[in-house]
Amino acid sequence: MKTSFELNGNNVSVDTAEDATLLWTLRERLQLTSTKFGCGISVCGACTVHLDRVAVRSCSMPITSVEGKKVTTIEGLGENNDHPLQVAFQEEQVPQCGYCQSGQIMQAATLLASNPNPSRDQIISHMDGNLCRCGTYNRIIKAINKAAEEDQL
């Protein structure tokens, strides 16, 4: 089955099994491996990507649901990893293992797109559901605040 959509600003058409998910299509067919498999049931957030600028869990999203839509992965968020969130996550030394980082950044990007100056409580509420096994939540919050401040300068 062929599915066509915009991926990181480029039109793509990919042959997949009818029951394929967006996550496995990205990783296996399109070789974009920064989006991670965590739980497979949309509860951990490691697989978060943007679908028409909204954060979604790609592990349980059928590839057929992205037909004609815009998908953005962490690879397409910023050129040369220079999105303010990517920079802030590095500067604040957020990742320990780094497994959740792409999902965390993609989730946070939708927050800053709709609310460029979020409060701590708004950050916590928006990021709820993106799990970090290393427990770097305070650094994640600090990095999101830093990106928001940098983006406003």
pTM of the model: 0.95
Per-residue pLDDT of 34-66, as tens digits, reads 999 999 999 999 999 999 999 999 999 999 999
CA 120/CA 123 separation, integer angstroms: 5
pLDDT of residue 152: 63
Per-residue pLDDT of 100-133, as tens digits, reads 999 999 999 999 999 999 999 999 999 999 999 9
CA 145/CA 13 separation, integer angstroms: 37
Domains of the chain: 2-76 (3.10.20.30), 79-152 (1.10.150.120)
